């Protein structure tokens, strides 16, 4: 990285020496992300940060005029690690627009596929990508003092996972040579096999359709899935305590580490796993069936649930410009003036967005990213909230816990926690994990929630297998319902991509796509300052990050910044652009993955 010392005087502040530290690209995420910072090593803080990413593809543009039935095949290609989340979300939007309700069995199959995706993706990201930031090699290079302490710190849960000291855990995370690294890589294949059983192919599914799935539902299908699932359940009994030990150790070894990646709690979750007993895909009933999802939608501000009504969530989404390479669409067509319940729909809502790219030179004082700024309009205050997803799990668990609605055999939301019950497996007895609402929305808690959500996904999958088999045993084997594509319609889908909120909005005219805008999690997390000057979530997170790394400028790796950024699970195909102003302003922009959509 280039290191160019420079002395700056800020008004009313003491002079300080800032060093340019740049990382471009940020690896071990999906997509091109560059981070440009100025670091004040004397005061051990990040003074400025620009994050930039550089890909535009144009989905919203080339989808215009295409057959609406093709939407899920096309939008799957937005993302190479959670493409199936897009395909699923697109199918939800198609189902609404086409007025079709798939057979229950199809919904259980999709839920099983999506559960496998969560199990796979969190697993590989946590322990093969994020885990490297916590591995022996990295800790030795960045914090030799922490490595020394790790060697003499016994793992509190050693009896559950087998690693005697924290240092042993770190060694097991070394890339390729570490035993746990290789074990998780192998497990990421088993879970992808489970995924392929339900959705055909990973990561772009072959068997999803509007109206249901093409998967042939047989006893063998669910047996093949269940046998693999139980191996993962047993694996979780080791993985959750292992991560608790590792993450608790960082709080202990580095007092103040809770400030790494810390930001105000502004979390968004759009809900996951439809319940076919309730979900009819009709917009007018969306509040009711949204609350029956097996991950409850919700917006959490300062620890309080603002709403868990999907209709309210939907109508208050706003897409803003401010620092992005696009033309404004205020004068352009308004596709949807009112939703089917009669609520007015804003011109900045995804249904009404028009994407017009304008490529230009990158200018950190002007426009510097292909990502737009998604916001949620809070009617109580008039604020456009820069919600984040915290990489997915922390928002899902927090929202589900507060609503207290999910209560199935294996999972119970209590109002302040989520209890996850894993049954007996080959070698281990029954285990209950409880994820409790944490004190902070920070890097460590985002990472910890990821591990708990892996167990949550496995637990829900057990429920879905039971429900699917009961359909099969009752002789209800159909997996697809017929439909007709209407000439004029609108639709929306709400889902949780692995790393957070995902929505697809479609407008159909003359039987073709007239407008289509997907909004995945990364644009929510990594966007730039909007037109009101509100910074995106990364800004807060990076701005509050102190430097704990022991290296000076010469060997600086930026590990604390890396842990803060990776805790959001930046999505591969999304570029991230981050701009951190003068020590107070941190702006991150992320170019979402796709093209068209807004980000992209």
Contacts of another protein in 128-187 (CB under 8 A)? 128-129, 132, 137-138, 175-177, 182, 185
Does 214 bind another protein (CB under 8 A)? Our answer is: yes
Range 306-325, binding another protein (CB under 8 A): 325
In the bound state with another protein, the residue whose beta carbon lies nearer, of 21 and 286, is 21
Between 254 and 283, how does the x/- string for binding to another protein read (CB under 8 A)? ------------------------------
Does 582 bind another protein (CB under 8 A)? Our answer is: no
Does 205 bind another protein (CB under 8 A)? Our answer is: yes
Does 55 bind another protein (CB under 8 A)? Our answer is: yes
d(CA 494, CA 506): 12
Does 285 bind another protein (CB under 8 A)? Our answer is: no
| Beta strands at 407-408 and 212-213: parallel, antiparallel or unpaired | unpaired
Does 572 bind another protein (CB under 8 A)? Our answer is: yes
In the bound state with another protein, the residue whose beta carbon lies nearer, of 278 and 362, is 362
In the bound state with another protein, the residue whose beta carbon lies nearer, of 24 and 550, is 24
Per rule CB under 8 A, count of chain residues that contact another protein: 92
Can you tell me which of 39, 47, 187, 203 binds another protein, judged by CB under 8 A? Answer: 203
In the bound state with another protein, the residue whose beta carbon lies nearer, of 80 and 404, is 80
In the bound state with another protein, the residue whose beta carbon lies nearer, of 28 and 238, is 28
Q: How far is the CB of 430 from another protein (least distance, A)?
A: 29
Give the chain's largest Cα–Cα span.
76
Can you tell me which of 131, 521, 558, 583 binds another protein, judged by CB under 8 A? Answer: 558
In the bound state with another protein, the residue whose beta carbon lies nearer, of 215 and 399, is 215
Can you tell me which of 212, 241, 393, 521 binds another protein, judged by CB under 8 A? Answer: 212
Does 204 bind another protein (CB under 8 A)? Our answer is: yes
Does 29 bind another protein (CB under 8 A)? Our answer is: yes
Q: Which of 400, 405, 410, 463 is nearest to 436 (CA)?
A: 400
Sheet architecture: strand order including 45-52: 5-8, 16-23, 34-40, 45-52, 575-580, 586-591
Cβ neighbors of 133 (< 8 A, separation 6 or more) are: 28, 559, 562, 563, 566
Does 567 bind another protein (CB under 8 A)? Our answer is: no
Range 62-81, binding another protein (CB under 8 A): 62, 64-67, 69-70, 73-74, 77-81
Residues in the chain: 600
Q: How far is the CB of 249 from another protein (least distance, A)?
A: 21
- Helix or strand holding residue 134 (H, E): none
Does 206 bind another protein (CB under 8 A)? Our answer is: yes
Between 336 and 375, how does the x/- string for binding to another protein read (CB under 8 A)? ---------------------xxxxxx-------------
Range 383-442, binding another protein (CB under 8 A): none
In the bound state with another protein, the residue whose beta carbon lies nearer, of 81 and 468, is 81
Can you tell me which of 18, 23, 400, 581 binds another protein, judged by CB under 8 A? Answer: 23
Q: How far is the CB of 57 from another protein (least distance, A)?
A: 5
Q: How far is the CB of 361 from another protein (least distance, A)?
A: 5
Does 27 bind another protein (CB under 8 A)? Our answer is: yes
In the bound state with another protein, the residue whose beta carbon lies nearer, of 129 and 514, is 129
d(CA 134, CA 155): 15
Does 236 bind another protein (CB under 8 A)? Our answer is: no
Q: Which of 31, 125, 6 is nearest to 577 (CA)?
A: 31
Q: How far is the CB of 403 from another protein (least distance, A)?
A: 32
Does 58 bind another protein (CB under 8 A)? Our answer is: yes
Q: How far is the CB of 443 from another protein (least distance, A)?
A: 16
d(CA 293, CA 278): 9
Q: How far is the CB of 197 from another protein (least distance, A)?
A: 6
In the bound state with another protein, the residue whose beta carbon lies nearer, of 284 and 555, is 555
Does 83 bind another protein (CB under 8 A)? Our answer is: yes
- Helix or strand holding residue 236 (H, E): helix 219-253
Q: How far is the CB of 7 from another protein (least distance, A)?
A: 20
In the bound state with another protein, the residue whose beta carbon lies nearer, of 74 and 459, is 74
Q: Which of 369, 517, 508 is nearest to 60 (CA)?
A: 517
Range 481-540, binding another protein (CB under 8 A): 482
How many other β-carbons are positioned within 10 Å of the β-carbon of residue 112? 29
Alpha-carbon distances, residue 247 vs 25, 133, 212, 447, 449 (angstroms): 26, 12, 41, 8, 11
CA dihedral 590, 591, 593, 597 (to 10 degrees): 120
Cβ neighbors of 440 (< 8 A, separation 6 or more) are: 258, 262
Residues 123, 188 contacting (CB under 8 angstroms):
yes
Residues 289, 345 contacting (CB under 8 angstroms):
no
Does 227 bind another protein (CB under 8 A)? Our answer is: no
Q: Cβ-count burial of 220 within 10 angstroms (0-12 exposed, 13-18 middle, 19+ buried)?
A: exposed
3-state secondary structure of 420: strand
Does 231 bind another protein (CB under 8 A)? Our answer is: no
Cβ neighbors of 519 (< 8 A, separation 6 or more) are: 317, 319, 350, 374, 501, 502, 503, 504, 505, 592, 597, 598, 599
The encoded tokens of residue 62 equal: 């080339």
In the bound state with another protein, the residue whose beta carbon lies nearer, of 185 and 428, is 185
- In the block, residue with structure tokens 């940020």: 26
Can you tell me which of 47, 217, 268, 301 binds another protein, judged by CB under 8 A? Answer: 217
Residues 395, 383 contacting (CB under 8 angstroms):
no
Does 382 bind another protein (CB under 8 A)? Our answer is: no
Q: How far is the CB of 213 from another protein (least distance, A)?
A: 7
Instruction: Calculate helix-pair angle for 393-403, 443-473, nearest 10 degrees.
Output: 70
In the bound state with another protein, the residue whose beta carbon lies nearer, of 185 and 405, is 185
d(CA 528, CA 539): 8
Alpha-carbon distances, residue 450 vs 67, 202, 396, 456 (angstroms): 37, 21, 10, 10
- Helix or strand holding residue 155 (H, E): none
In the bound state with another protein, the residue whose beta carbon lies nearer, of 128 and 460, is 128
Task: Output phi, psi for 584, to 5 deg.
Answer: -120, -20
Does 466 bind another protein (CB under 8 A)? Our answer is: no
């Amino acid at each position: 990285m280039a290191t160019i010392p420079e002395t700056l005087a800020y008004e009313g502040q003491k002079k300080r020496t800032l060093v340019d530290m740049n990382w471009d690209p940020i690896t071990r995420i999906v997509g091109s992300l560059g981070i440009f910072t100025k670091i004040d090593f004397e005061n051990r803080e990040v003074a400025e940060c620009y994050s930039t990413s550089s890909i535009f593809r144009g989905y919203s543009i080339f989808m215009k005029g295409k057959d609406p039935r093709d939407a899920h095949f096309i939008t799957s290609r937005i993302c190479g690690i959670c493409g199936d989340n897009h395909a699923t979300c697109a199918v939800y939007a198609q189902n609404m627009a086409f007025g079709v309700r798939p057979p229950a069995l199809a919904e259980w199959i999709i839920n099983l596929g999506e559960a496998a995706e969560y199990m796979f993706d969190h697993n590989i990201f946590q322990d093969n990508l994020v885990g490297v930031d916590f591995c022996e090699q990295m800790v030795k290079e960045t914090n030799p003092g922490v490595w020394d302490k790790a060697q003499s710190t016994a793992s509190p849960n050693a009896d559950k996972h087998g690693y005697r000291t924290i240092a042993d855990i770190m060694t097991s995370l070394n890339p390729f040579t570490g035993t746990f690294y290789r074990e998780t890589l192998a497990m990421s294949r088993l879970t992808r096999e489970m995924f392929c059983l339900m959705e055909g192919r990973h990561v772009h599914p072959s068997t999803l359709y509007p109206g249901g799935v093409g998967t042939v539902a047989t006893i063998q299908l669910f047996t093949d899935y269940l046998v693999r699932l139980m191996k993962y359940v047993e694996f979780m009994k080791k993985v959750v305590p292992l991560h608790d030990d590792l993450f608790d150790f960082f709080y202990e070894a580095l007092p103040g580490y809770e400030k790494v990646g810390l930001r105000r709690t502004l979390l968004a979750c759009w809900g996951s796993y439809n319940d076919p007993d309730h979900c009819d895909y009709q917009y007018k009933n969306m509040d009711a069936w949204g609350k029956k999802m097996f991950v409850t939608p919700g917006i959490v501000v300062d620890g309080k649930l603002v709403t868990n009504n999907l209709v309210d969530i939907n109508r208050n989404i706003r897409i803003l410009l401010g620092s992005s390479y696009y033309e404004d669409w205020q004068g352009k067509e308004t596709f949807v003036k009112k939703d089917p319940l009669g609520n007015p729909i804003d011109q900045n809502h995804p249904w009404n967005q028009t994407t017009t790219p304008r490529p230009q030179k990158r200018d950190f004082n002007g426009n510097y990213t292909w990502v737009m700024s998604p916001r949620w309009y809070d009617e109580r205050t008039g604020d456009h909230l820069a919600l984040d997803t915290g990489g997915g799990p922390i928002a899902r668990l927090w929202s589900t816990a507060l609503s207290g609605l999910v209560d199935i055999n294996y999972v119970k939301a209590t109002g302040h926690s989520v209890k996850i019950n894993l049954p007996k497996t080959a070698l281990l007895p029954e285990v209950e994990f409880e994820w409790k609402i944490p004190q902070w929305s920070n890097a460590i808690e985002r990472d910890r929630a990821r591990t708990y959500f892996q167990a949550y996904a496995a637990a829900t999958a057990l429920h879905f297998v039971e429900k699917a088999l009961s359909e099969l045993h009752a002789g209800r084997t159909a997996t697809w319902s017929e439909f007709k594509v209407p000439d004029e319609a609108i639709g929306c889908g709400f889902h949780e991509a692995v790393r957070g909120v995902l929505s697809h909005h479609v407008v159909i005219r003359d039987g073709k796509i007239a407008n289509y805008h997907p909004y995945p999690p990364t644009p929510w997390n990594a966007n730039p300052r909007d037109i009101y000057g509100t910074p995106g979530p990364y800004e807060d997170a990076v701005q509050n990050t102190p430097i704990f790394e022991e290296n000076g400028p010469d060997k600086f790796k930026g590990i604390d910044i890396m842990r803060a950024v990776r805790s959001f699970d930046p999505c591969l195909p999304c570029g991230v652009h981050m701009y951190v102003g003068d020590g107070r302003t941190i702006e991150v922009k992320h170019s979402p993955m796709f093209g068209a959509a807004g980000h992209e």
